[in-house]
Structure 1
Amino acid sequence: MRGSTNRGTIRRGRVALSAVAVAVCTITALPHGAASADSGDAGGVRQTGVERVSVAAEGTQANDDSSDASITPAGHRVVFSSYANNLTPGDTGRNEEVFVRELATGQNRQFGGYPLAPPMLSSDGQVLAYLGPRFNNMALYQHHLSVGWSAAYTCSLRSCEAAMGSNDRHQAFSVTFRHPETNQRIEVSNPDTGGLQTVDVIHNTAPSRPSISSDGTRLAYQDGGEQDVFLWDRADNTPAGPIEGPGKAAELVQLSDDGNKVVYRSGPDTYVHDVASGTAAPVPGVKGVAIDPTGRYLLHTPSGATGPAPLTLRDLETGTDETVTDRPASAGVDAVSTGGRHVVFESAAEGIVPNDTNGKTDIFLRTLR
C-alpha cells in the first residue's frame, strides 16, 4: 500500500491555491556515475542504528524543517518534504519542496514545490507522486524516477486525496464534493480496462484516507461521517464493512501493501484486521501509526498520544517490541520497509545523532536488523 491517513490528507493553510503556480518538474539529477538503486536494500547491507536522512550529499545538515517521510518496501529510497534549500546544489528557494533520497548513494533529487499533502512513492519505488496546486485547481504530479517522464493530472476543483499502488497505473483518488452534496467519491484506476471504478462514500464530510494495495485490487477507506472503515475489492466492485463491526467507532490507519491486513484504531486500542479470515486481532493500549508491507510489523506510539512521542515497532507474530526512538517523534504510513528492517521518522529532538545543531525538525532512518 502506498498512501493513507496523513498521506493524501490535505494540509490546510499552507498555500493559497488561486495564487500559486507549481513548477511541474525541477530535478537535480544524480551526479555522473551515481547508481540508481532500483532494487535490493539500499545497495547493500546497512549497519543497525540511526542516521539522519535530511542532509546534503556531503553531510551538511538541513537549514530548515523537514517532514512527511516515507520509505519504499525494499528500503532503497526515502521521500520527504522540506523547506531547506541546501539539500541539493543550486537550490536557492525558500518554499517547501519534495526530495527523494537514494540511500545507496546519499544523493537527493529535488522536485517541484508546494506539496499539499505528504509525497508518495509507488511500491516499486519508480514513481513519485504528490498533490499540489495547479492554477485554480489541485493536481497530482507524477515523476518516473528512472525513465524520466513527468505528468500532472487535475483531480479536483477544491479538495482531493490520493493513494498509489505499485506504479502509476494503480491509483485511487478521493474527490470531495461540496454544496449541494456532502458525500465523497473515490475513483480507482483500473489498469485492465484503462477506466475508473468508483466508490461512493455516502456519509463522508471528512477525509476518506484512501489506502490501496500494491496491485490495486483492494482499497481501504474511512467513512468519517459514520466513523466506519470499509474494504473495497475490485473483483466485485462492492465495499465490505464496516469491518470493525456494528456499533463501534473506528479510524483507518493503513492497508498493508499486500492487501491482506487493515489496521485501524478504536478507543485506546489498535486492531489488525485479517482480510482472509475476517477477524481482527487487538493490540491493546497502543496507537497504531503504520504497518510494514507484509502486515507483520506494527509501528506504534503510546495510546492517547496527540503529538510527537516515542516510537516502537512490534512483531505481531512474536509480540515483541523494538524501540525505534525514545525521543519525541512522528511518523506516517509507509514509514516501515518490508520485514520491519527500516523505519523513517521525523523529530525536532536533539541528540538522536551526533552533531545535530540545526535546531530544526529532521528526517531520520532507523535500521533495526
Structure 2
Amino acid sequence: MARSVQSSAVRALRIRTAAVAVTAVGAVTLTALPATARAAGPARSPAPNVERVSVAADGTQADNNSTHASLSRNGAFTVFHSAATNLTSEPTPRPPGAVHVRDNATGAVKRIRDSLQDPAVSDDGRYVTYLGWGSQTVKVKLTDLETGQTRTVSSGPAKAGSNSATMSADGRYIAFTQLPDHPSVPSRVDVYDRVKDTYETVSEGPPVSTRDMQEPSISADGRYVAYRDAGTGEVWRYDRDQHTRVRVDDSGSSELVQLSGNGRTVAINTTDGAYVRDVPNGATTRLPGKRIDALGQNGHQVLYQSNGPVAYSALRLRHVPSGRETDVHGNARAVPGALAGEDRLVFDSPDAGIVPGDTNGKADIFLWRAHPPQNGR
C-alpha cells in the first residue's frame, strides 16, 4: 500500500516537472502535458515560444541596444538595427550602429557594412535594403549578400536623398520615397526593378500634384504599392498591373502603417485610433484609442499598442476576423514588417527577464512564435 502511494506521488511529481521546460539558451517554451495529465481537464495549446535574437552566433549578449526589427515575409530572417559592437567579429563601425541580419534557423549574424537604419530583407536572406550614406546625403542602399555588391536606389540627382524603402518578397522590387534636391520639388514614390534596373513613379506628382508623397508599402509580389499624400493625409493604393489608383482611407490626417503581403488589406493609424480595411470589399475593423505597429501578411493579424506617445507599452496580437487577442509583452514595441505568417513576430523591449540569462541591461530583439519551432524554424 505504501509503495502504491509512493509511486503515485512520483508520477504526479514527474507530470508537474514536465509541464515547464527551458528549451535552449535564450529561449523559453512551455511543453504540453502528458496525455494522463490532460485527461483531467480541457486540452491546451502549447504556450508561445520567445527567443532573444539580438545575440552573437555563440550566444554572446549584445553590449548595446538593438531596436526596430522586422522579419522576412516567410519568417526565416530577422533584420534589425543595433549599436552593439560584439554581435559579429567584423571591425566596429564608426559611429557605432549598423543593420544586422540574422538567420533564425542557424543563429548566424551578419553586419551590413556602412549601413545606418531602416532595414528590410528578402525571403531568401540574399537582398537587404537600408539607409546608408550616399556621396552627398542619405539614400536607400541595396546589398546582395551573396555577391557583396551594393547599389544606390535613387532616381533623383546626386544631391537628392531617398528613404522609406520597402521590398517585395523576392527582393526584385523596392518601393521608396524619392526626395527632392530643391524645396520647390515635391517628394514622390518610385519603384525600382532590380532585374531590369529601371524606375517607375507610382504616386501622383507634377503637374497633377505639387504635394509630397511618402511612406510606401509594397505587396509581396510587387504588384500593389500603398503610400501617403503628406499634403492631405490621404492614403492611396496603386495597382502596377492595371495602372489604377484607389483611395483607401476614410478621412484626412491618416498614417499608413502597412499593406498586407497579398496587397488586399491596409492598416491605418489616425489621431483617435486605428483601423484595418479590406480594400476590395471595404470591410473595416476599428481599434479606437489604439495604434497599430504592424500588419500580418494575409491581413488577418495586427500588432497594436495604446495610442499614447510612449515608445514602449503593452503589445498585443489581434486576429482581425475573430477578434481574438493575445498578450505579447507588457513593455514592447514593433515596426511595420514585424509580423510574418500567422504565428511569428519580432519586437524589441528593454526589459530583463523575458528569457533566461538576459543580464545586459540593454534593449533587445525577441522572436515570438505562437508554437515551439519545428526543425529549427
Q: Same fold (TM over 0.5)?
A: yes
Q: Return the match for 2:232 from 193, 212, 226.
A: 226
Deviation at 1:346, TM superposition (A): 1.0
Q: Percent identity?
A: 33
Letter of the 2:81 partner, please give it.
S
Q: Return the match for 2:302 from 286, 298, 305.
A: 298
Asked if structure 2 preserves the Cα contact closer than 8 Å seen for 1:269 and 1:286, the reply is yes
Deviation at 1:263, TM superposition (A): 0.6
Residues in 1 aligned to 2:321 and 2:289: alpha-carbon distance in whole angstroms:
17
Residues in 1 aligned to 2:149 and 2:196: alpha-carbon distance in whole angstroms:
23
Look up the SS of the partner of 1:283 in the other structure.
strand
Letter of the 2:299 partner, please give it.
G
Deviation at 1:90, TM superposition (A): 4.4
1:186 aligns with 2:189: yes
Asked if structure 1 preserves the Cα contact closer than 8 Å seen for 2:76 and 2:123, the reply is no
Deviates more, 1:174-183 or 1:162-171: 174-183
CA RMSD of aligned residues (A): 2.3
Q: Is the alpha carbon distance of 1:264 and 1:358 closer, same or farther for their aligned partners in structure 2, counting shifts above 3 Å?
A: same
Residues in 2 aligned to 1:266 and 1:154: alpha-carbon distance in whole angstroms:
30
Look up the SS of the partner of 1:112 in the other structure.
coil
Letter of the 1:306 partner, please give it.
V
The residue correspondences of 1:321-336 to structure 2 (distance < 5 A) are: 321-326=325-330, 328-336=331-339
Letter of the 1:186 partner, please give it.
V
TM-score (norm 1): 0.79
Deviation at 1:123, TM superposition (A): 4.1
Deviation at 1:173, TM superposition (A): 2.5
Asked if structure 1 preserves the Cα contact closer than 8 Å seen for 2:188 and 2:214, the reply is no
- What CA deviation, in whole Å up to 9, does each residue of 1:220-269 have, x standing for no partner? 0011221111111112323221x223x54311100011111111012322
Structure 2: runs of 5+ lacking an equivalent: 1-45, 372-377
Give the number of the structure whose alpha-carbon radius of gyration is greater. 2
The residue correspondences of 1:4-23 to structure 2 (distance < 5 A) are: none
Asked if structure 2 preserves the Cα contact closer than 8 Å seen for 1:286 and 1:303, the reply is yes
Residues in 2 aligned to 1:53 and 1:299: alpha-carbon distance in whole angstroms:
19
Look up the SS of the partner of 2:337 in the other structure.
coil
- In structure 2, the partner of 1:32 is none
Residues in 1 aligned to 2:152 and 2:100: alpha-carbon distance in whole angstroms:
20
Q: Return the match for 1:368 from 348, 367, 370.
A: 370
Residues in 1 aligned to 2:350 and 2:217: alpha-carbon distance in whole angstroms:
28
Asked if structure 2 preserves the Cα contact closer than 8 Å seen for 1:203 and 1:223, the reply is no
Q: Is the alpha carbon distance of 1:194 and 1:154 closer, same or farther for their aligned partners in structure 2, counting shifts above 3 Å?
A: closer
- In structure 2, the partner of 1:269 is 273
Deviates more, 1:70-79 or 1:192-201: 192-201
Residues in 2 aligned to 1:86 and 1:98: alpha-carbon distance in whole angstroms:
13
- What CA deviation, in whole Å up to 9, does each residue of 1:13-42 have, x standing for no partner? xxxxxxxxxxxxxxxxxxxxxxxxxxxxxx
- In structure 1, the partner of 2:106 is 105
Letter of the 1:336 partner, please give it.
L
Letter of the 1:236 partner, please give it.
Q
Q: Return the match for 2:162 from 154, 160, 163.
A: 160
Structure 1: runs of 5+ lacking an equivalent: 1-45
Q: Is the alpha carbon distance of 1:180 and 1:365 closer, same or farther for their aligned partners in structure 2, counting shifts above 3 Å?
A: closer
1:337 aligns with 2:340: yes
How many equivalent pairs are there? Answer: 317
Look up the SS of the partner of 1:209 in the other structure.
strand
- What CA deviation, in whole Å up to 9, does each residue of 1:93-118 have, x standing for no partner? 45212211111111111211341x31
Asked if structure 1 preserves the Cα contact closer than 8 Å seen for 2:274 and 2:286, the reply is yes
- What CA deviation, in whole Å up to 9, does each residue of 1:147-177 have, x standing for no partner? 4342212525243122211233212121122
Residues in 1 aligned to 2:276 and 2:210: alpha-carbon distance in whole angstroms:
24
- In structure 2, the partner of 1:281 is 285
- In structure 2, the partner of 1:150 is 149
Q: Return the match for 1:311 from 295, 315, 327.
A: 315
Residues in 2 aligned to 1:214 and 1:323: alpha-carbon distance in whole angstroms:
27
Look up the SS of the partner of 2:204 in the other structure.
strand
Asked if structure 1 preserves the Cα contact closer than 8 Å seen for 2:153 and 2:162, the reply is no
Deviates more, 1:155-164 or 1:285-294: 155-164
- In structure 1, the partner of 2:130 is 130
Residues in 2 aligned to 1:138 and 1:194: alpha-carbon distance in whole angstroms:
20
Residues in 2 aligned to 1:81 and 1:276: alpha-carbon distance in whole angstroms:
35
- In structure 1, the partner of 2:76 is 76
Look up the SS of the partner of 1:365 in the other structure.
strand
1:171 aligns with 2:174: yes
Letter of the 2:346 partner, please give it.
V
Q: Is the alpha carbon distance of 1:313 and 1:235 closer, same or farther for their aligned partners in structure 2, counting shifts above 3 Å?
A: same
Asked if structure 2 preserves the Cα contact closer than 8 Å seen for 1:70 and 1:332, the reply is yes
Letter of the 1:112 partner, please give it.
R
